[in-house]
Amino acid sequence: MLPGNQLALAPLGAGDLIDRAVRLYRRHLITLIRIAAPPVIVTAAGSILWTIGFRQIFNTPSNSKLFLYVFLLVSGLGLMGGGYLFNLIVMGGASRNLVAHLLRNEPVSVRATYSAVRSRFWGLLLASLIVACWILLSMAVAFFGWYMVVAILSVGAILLANVAPIWFSAAVGIISFLAATALALWLFFLVVGRVVYVPQIMLVEGRGVLDAFSRSFSLARGNVRRLMAMTLFTTFATYSALMILVIPLGWYGYLSGVDPSPWNSAQWPAWYAVGYSVLGPLSSILLTPVWMLGLSLLYVDERVRHEGYDIELMAARQLSEMPEVDVSSPFGPALSSSTRKLPPPPPPRVSGRVLNLS
């Protein structure tokens, strides 16, 4: 087993990526939670405001309070969206910190991550907005395709029930539904996978927004299964953590006379509804670092597969710094420099004239 700050020479599969992310997560648990905490706290605050506004907007008789609850709804929605965007932005800084850890064994720290974020904040914000719109568009396309396929297959199953046993048509319908869902998920991750490396490319390779999108499109080849496996693993782990937190709250609410069933959420008291809405972000704060590490490692693995990035990292770690030459590489650098170079000094003057050194 390789140490956490070394790369395998062979490309990593989905299981290896998840294992590497979990090992890095265990090694830097507290630091990674501190890195992921600010976006999650923003999202949790938005969730609280949304819950309060949504519960009271239909029950208030006062116009002034109605305006207040509408403001809470809009503010909560804005904070939740801002939290998710902030999460994408922080992901870029975490990727740069991870590559610096792999390259120079620099410590994984909150300061290094957020310093990298501050250096490219506005560019990352614009890129995150474009990525968010791309994700929403991908969801709409995948859902429309899934709906059309399921509708056609449902009509076929109903027609099949007239000429075949009911159990056979039901089995065909269930299998078709599962196949359509798997196809929709594959289509979604195929489209989304083209832009998942934009924050990493901007901070690791130092590219601009449009150049980062072009680079991400060319780099993301054959990553659908690994991206889907990483997403499903993180999703199931997050919901498992959520259930661990929800069960004690549900028992306490049940003993206090609250029906904890989600179908009766309109009857929940305010304290229970707010507590339930906070548990989701709190569970994600534990697993968001795994998602960040997974996407960062997936980006590194794509460069290992297509560009021999592991050899480049080992060479940059073992050898002295390469001299500055006027050569442009078709690949991204191992780690772009974040410091500006000072201009060369002016040539010396002798007796009021410039000395010719050529």
The Cα–Cα gap between 186 and 324 comes to 44
Q: Compute CA distances 182 → 145, 176, 354, whole Å.
A: 11, 10, 73
Residue 260 has a CB neighbour count (10 Å cut-off) of 17
**322 in any annotated domain:** no
**321 in any annotated domain:** no
Per-residue pLDDT tens, the chain, 358 aa: give them. Answer: 444 455 454 567 777 888 888 888 888 888 888 888 888 888 888 888 888 888 777 777 777 778 888 888 889 889 988 888 888 888 888 888 887 887 777 788 888 889 888 888 998 899 989 998 999 998 988 888 888 888 887 787 777 777 777 777 778 778 888 888 888 888 898 888 888 888 888 888 888 888 889 888 888 877 788 888 888 888 888 778 778 888 888 888 888 888 877 777 777 887 888 888 778 777 777 777 888 888 888 888 888 777 766 666 666 656 655 444 444 455 555 676 653 343 444 555 544 444 443 4
Taking Cα atoms as reference points, which of 112, 89, 104, 88 lies closest to residue 31?
A: 112
Angle subtended at Cα 252 by Cα 248 and Cα 253, rounded to the nearest 5 degrees: 115
**279 in any annotated domain:** yes
DSSP assigned state of 62: -
Q: What is the dihedral of CA 17, 22, 23, 24, to 10 degrees?
A: 90
Taken as a whole, the chain contains a residue count of 358
**336 in any annotated domain:** no
Q: Determine whether 33 is exposed, middle or buried from the number of CB atoms within 10 Å of its CB (0-12, 13-18, 19+).
A: middle
Contact present, 262 and 24 (Cβ < 8 Å) = no
Find the domain containing 290 and state its range.
14-313
Contact present, 49 and 72 (Cβ < 8 Å) = yes
DSSP H or E run through 354: strand 353-354
**260 in any annotated domain:** yes
**349 in any annotated domain:** no
The Cα–Cα gap between 332 and 193 comes to 19
The Cα–Cα gap between 229 and 114 comes to 28
- Name the pTM for this structure: 0.73
Q: Compute CA distances 126 → 154, 199, 208, 306, 335, whole Å.
A: 42, 10, 11, 27, 22
For residue 265, what are its two tokens? 């959420």
Domain count of the fold of the chain: 1
**323 in any annotated domain:** no
SS3 353: strand
